Amino acid sequence: MEVVYNRCSGLDVHKETVVACVMVREGGKLQKEIRRFRTMTSDLLMLHDWLMAHGVTHVAMESTGIYWRPIFNLLEGSFSVLLVNAAHIKAVPGRKTDIRDCEWIADLLSHGLLKGSFIPPQDIRDLRDLTRYRKSLTDERIREVNRLQKLLETANIKLSSVASDVMGVSGRAMMDALISGSTDPEVLANLARGKLRKKLPLLQQALEGRFRPHHRFLLG
């Protein structure tokens, strides 16, 4: 089979360690060397220098969770790095059971049998991190609001049946009053602002509950 890359490396990535196989073909001869590195930054820099010393041009590794990212961060500027779907590697026939994962990856890479996943530029990756984090915070806020509404329901307070947004200015004022110890429906209803004041009679009914110290503690 035709050799596409004469100097390449396959990485078997784990949380604590990365096993690297360097494969060099010169004059019809194949040389292989396998080393294990920890995933601390200083150790990954040693991996980088070791690959450079062997004249490696292409590196491939599986997309294992997020553990590939620290390695990619330190290698992307010096090598052509392929991030490969694990299912793709397993789908290629011919692997022998006594061949290490890193060696198998390096062998496939050298023959051009691996297709790398798309990895966007650094600024796009940063933007992705921000948008994903924002979505996580938004989802968490929704879950907290749902839990809060369930808590009020268990205390016979039907605020969400009258107010469209229990976390609005009016809803927050009423909950602050509940936390402070006020349970009088009329007093709580009078904390309403804006259009919600048109529903004062209904609010008083909704705020007449059985709010106990237990609910006050959880709400606080």
What is the Rg, in whole angstroms, of the alpha carbon atoms belonging to the chain?
Answer: 30
The predicted-structure confidence for 179-218, as pLDDT tens digits, reads as follows 999 999 999 999 999 899 999 999 999 999 899 999 999 9
Instruction: Please give the span between the terminal C-alpha atoms of the chain, in angstroms, as a whole number.
Output: 69
For the chain, domains (ranges, CATH) are 7-119 (3.30.420.10), 124-219 (no CATH)
pLDDT digit string, tens, across residues 111-146:
999 988 889 999 999 999 999 999 999 999 999 999
Bridge-based pairing state of the strands 58-62 and 29-38: unpaired
Residue 33 pairs with which residues in a beta bridge? 22
Q: Which residue has the tokens 């984090």?
A: 133
Instruction: Note whether 130 and 122 are within 8 A (CB).
Output: no
Handedness of CA 122, 126, 128, 132 (dihedral sign): positive
Predicted model pTM: 0.70
Beta strands in 39-101 (DSSP E): 58-62, 80-84
What pLDDT, in 10s, does the model give residues 153-190? 999 999 989 888 899 999 999 999 999 999 999 999 99
- Rounded-to-integer distance, Cα 57 and Cα 37, Å: 19
C-alpha 159/C-alpha 175 separation (Å) is 10
3-state secondary structure of 10: strand
Spatial CA neighbour of 206 closest among 196, 219, 220: 196
